[in-house]
């Protein structure tokens, strides 16, 4: 322990219909430490923090908080006790202002009336502390980028004056500079005695910010209190997966030999990006590298028709697509795995098989009626191929872990048989085991002739998977080169300094 024992969880069990999500998990967290919680997708991390946050009631086990046994019956009870949670899938209200989200449930008031000015001033100070004074407290949350919303979620947690903050993949949508800013805030918190439970699949972050590590596998604790800075990465991976995984990328072919499938010509969208042109051949992976907010995601969403271009055109196999039309893109053989899978890529209340077969429903219809058996069988085949867990395509997709939800999105386009696949942060929130599987799948699809466009915040991922890389800065392509001619430092120099070759 690095300080006073603040939280102890012993023998935590949580059962859902058909699955034992937690099977006797133990966790100890000390005041003033960063305790890292690791495990593959589906290992039980999300369920455990929901038990701690009062969103789930455990079926067995004990929670001791600040020296007293507790049973949080609701998130409000955990919040009142001093436990704040920043979920990977943010629990914010898009229609409210930034300040409204930060003080939600704790609105400053006098004589029964909310004091908006006080809420905005509190929010302004918190955003400045987080290094983002440019975010206006009055701005509607839904107009912020994913990274901006993550900052607001952190401000909301800080507003609670919590004694323990759970951070689930807090860096997933942040650029390198913002990650370092996040670490600065974490160090300030722990210096004041606040405990942080930090969940991340980026193992290099664990070594930099963590004090101790607990590893979960298949709903059970397999290692406790490992020193974060000195435990070998290979040992952590072995504990998480039960096997050794070399963090390598699949071998790429010497040169794609296929014809041009996707042509993007002088594409622009006012206020977001301008004059973007590139081509992708059958069997080629083209990567877009750039900081969060550089326009990477906006470019591929416009290519897909989810945003309407203000200029330029997109062609698939020589045929121009109607601007701003997703149905036209899908009919042309294009698929998108979006960055925000829950809000943009999945129907959370629907079963896995229905999410997988969504673009291909006409294939399974007979006489105007949808046949469940053929639909289920086809989707079940591709989810089994991708090892989606639990292996039950009739489960609601909301019950799956983030990594398995991402596999469902990829399974959709595998079933559809698209010729152009757009991938926006395909391994965000995905553990090392599933990440290797997704890398292999991307290369397998390319080998089958699919033209792939990849966006990732992780430069090594872009360089390791892509045949050719476009470096994007402030809405413009500032450099294009084969990945073999680039390294991480060169790409970072281009995206951060803007120097073009």
| Per-residue pLDDT band at 406 (split at 50, 70, 90) | confident
Mean local confidence (pLDDT), 99-121: 78
| Per-residue pLDDT band at 110 (split at 50, 70, 90) | low
Mean local confidence (pLDDT), 453-457: 92
Percent of all residues in the chain with a pLDDT value above 70, rounded to a whole number? 92
Residues 133 and 55 in one domain: yes
**For residue 183, what is the enclosing H or E element?**
helix 176-191
Integer Cα distance of 8 and 1 in angstroms: 12
Integer Cα distance of 2 and 6 in angstroms: 11
Integer Cα distance of 278 and 276 in angstroms: 7
Residues 406 and 428 in one domain: no
Given 193, 222, 241, which residue is the final one in a domain? 241
3 state SS for 244-298 = CCCCCCCCCCCCCCCCEEEEEEEEEECCCEEEEEEEEECCCEEEEECCCCCCHHH
User: β-pairing, 83-86 with 34-38?
Assistant: unpaired
Integer Cα distance of 184 and 309 in angstroms: 39
In this structure, is residue 338 part of a structural domain? Answer: no
| pTM for this model (two decimals) | 0.64
**CA–CA distance from 209 to each of 35, 205, 228, 251 (Å)?**
9, 6, 8, 33
- CATH number for the domain harbouring residue 470: 3.40.50.300
User: β-pairing, 285-289 with 468-473?
Assistant: parallel
Q: Tens digit of pLDDT for each residue in 407-418?
A: 899 899 888 889
Residues 413 and 423 in one domain: no
pLDDT, residue 200, reads 87
Domain count, the chain: 3
Residues 177 and 202 in one domain: yes
Closest C-alpha among 360, 471, 347, 324 to residue 397:
347
- Domain span at residue 263 reads 250-333+418-501
Mean local confidence (pLDDT), 455-472: 91
In this structure, is residue 18 part of a structural domain? Answer: yes
* Length of the chain measured in residues: 501
In this structure, is residue 341 part of a structural domain? Answer: no
Integer Cα distance of 135 and 139 in angstroms: 8
pLDDT, residue 66, reads 93
pLDDT above 70 for 500: no
pLDDT, residue 130, reads 84
Could you say which DSSP state residue 194 is in? Answer: -
Residues 264 and 324 in one domain: yes
pLDDT above 70 for 499: no
Q: Tens digit of pLDDT for each residue in 3-49?
A: 568 999 999 999 987 678 899 999 999 999 999 999 876 788 989 99
Give phi and psi for 467, each to the nearest 5: -85, -35
pLDDT above 90 for 135: yes
Could you say which DSSP state residue 343 is in? Answer: I
Given 417, 433, 456, which residue is the final one in a domain? 417
Residues 358 and 298 in one domain: no
Residues 261 and 302 in one domain: yes
Q: Tens digit of pLDDT for each residue in 340-393?
A: 888 888 999 999 999 999 887 777 766 666 667 888 888 999 999 888 888 899
In this structure, is residue 130 part of a structural domain? Answer: yes
Percent of all residues in the chain with a pLDDT value above 90, rounded to a whole number? 53
Residues 303 and 351 in one domain: no
Mean local confidence (pLDDT), 437-444: 88
CA 128 to the chain's CA centroid: 25
N-to-C CA span, the chain:
51
- Reply yes or no: is the peptide bond before residue 63 cis, omega within 30 of 0: no
Mean local confidence (pLDDT), 388-407: 87
Residues 364 and 494 in one domain: no
Integer Cα distance of 434 and 3 in angstroms: 35
In this structure, is residue 342 part of a structural domain? Answer: no
In this structure, is residue 339 part of a structural domain? Answer: no
Mean local confidence (pLDDT), 101-111: 76
Residue pair 102/153 in contact (Cβ under 8 Å)? The answer is no
Closest C-alpha among 335, 358, 341, 338 to residue 398:
341
Q: In what order do the strands lie in the sheet with 319-320?
A: 273-281, 260-269, 311-316, 319-320
| Beta bridge partners of residue 166, listed in sequence order | 85, 197
In this structure, is residue 403 part of a structural domain? Answer: yes
Given 200, 221, 241, which residue is the final one in a domain? 241
pLDDT above 80 for 211: yes
- Considering just the CA atoms, what is the radius of gyration of the chain in Å? 23
Mean local confidence (pLDDT), 266-295: 93
Residues 263 and 190 in one domain: no
Residues 31 and 75 in one domain: yes
Residues in Cβ contact with 24 at an 8 Å cutoff, skipping those fewer than 6 apart? 11, 12, 13, 60, 61, 220, 221
pLDDT, residue 428, reads 79
Residues 267 and 138 in one domain: no
In this structure, is residue 276 part of a structural domain? Answer: yes
**For residue 157, what is the enclosing H or E element?**
helix 146-159
Q: Tens digit of pLDDT for each residue in 224-270?
A: 999 999 998 888 878 887 755 555 688 877 665 689 999 999 999 99
Half-sphere exposure (Cβ direction) of 335: Cα atoms closer than 13 Å: 24
């Amino acid at each position: 322990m690095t300080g006073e024992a603040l939280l102890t969880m012993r023998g935590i069990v949580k059962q859902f219909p058909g699955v034992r999500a937690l099977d006797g998990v133990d966790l100890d967290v000390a005041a003033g430490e960063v305790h890292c919680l690791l495990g593959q997708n589906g290992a039980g991390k999300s369920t455990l923090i929901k038990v701690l946050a009062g969103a789930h009631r455990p079926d067995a086990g004990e929670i001791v908080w600040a020296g007293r046994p507790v049973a949080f019956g609701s998130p409000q009870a955990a919040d009142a006790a001093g436990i704040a949670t920043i979920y990977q899938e943010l629990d914010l209200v898009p229609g409210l202002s930034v300040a409204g989200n930060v003080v939600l449930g704790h609105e400053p008031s006098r004589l029964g009336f909310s004091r908006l000015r006080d809420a905005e001033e509190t929010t302004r100070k918190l955003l400045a502390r987080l290094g983002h004074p440019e975010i206006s407290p009055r701005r509607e949350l839904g107009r912020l980028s994913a990274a901006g919303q993550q900052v607001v979620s952190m401000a909301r947690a800080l507003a609670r004056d919590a004694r323990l903050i759970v951070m689930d993949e807090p860096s997933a949508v942040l650029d390198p500079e913002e990650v370092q800013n996040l670490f600065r805030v974490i160090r300030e918190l722990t210096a004041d005695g606040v405990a942080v439970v930090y969940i991340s699949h980026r193992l290099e972050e664990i070594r930099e910010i963590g004090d101790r590590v607990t590893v979960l596998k298949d709903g059970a604790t397999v290692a406790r209190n490992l020193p974060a800075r000195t435990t070998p990465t290979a040992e952590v991976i072995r504990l998480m997966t039960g096997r050794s995984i070399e963090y390598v990328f699949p071998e790429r072919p010497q040169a794609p030999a296929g014809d041009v499938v996707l042509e993007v010509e002088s594409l622009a969208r006012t206020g977001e990006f301008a004059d973007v042109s590139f081509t992708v051949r059958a069997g080629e992976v083209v990567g877009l590298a750039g900081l969060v907010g550089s326009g990477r995601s906006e470019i591929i969403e416009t290519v897909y028709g989810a945003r309407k271009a203000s200029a330029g055109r997109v062609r698939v196999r020589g045929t121009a697509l109607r601007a701003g039309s997703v149905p036209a893109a899908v009919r042309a053989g294009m698929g998108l795995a979006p960055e925000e899978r829950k809000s943009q890529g999945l129907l959370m209340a629907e079963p896995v098989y229905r999410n997988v077969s969504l673009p291909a429903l006409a294939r399974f219809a007979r006489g105007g009626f949808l046949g469940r058996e053929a639909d289920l069988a086809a989707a079940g085949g591709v989810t089994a191929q991708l090892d989606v867990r639990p292996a039950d395509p009739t489960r609601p997709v909301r019950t799956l872990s983030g990594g398995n939800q991402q596999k469902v999105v990829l399974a959709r386009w595998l079933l559809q048989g698209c010729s152009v696949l757009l991938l926006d942060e395909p391994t965000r929130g995905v553990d090392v085991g599933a990440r290797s599987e997704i890398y292999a799948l991307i290369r397998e699809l390319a080998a089958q002739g699919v033209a792939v466009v990849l966006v990732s915040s992780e430069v090594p991922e872009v360089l390791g998977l892509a045949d050719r890389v476009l470096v994007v800065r402030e809405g413009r392509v500032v450099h294009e080169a084969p990945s073999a001619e680039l390294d991480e430092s060169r790409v970072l120099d281009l995206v951060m300094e803007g120097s073009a070759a």
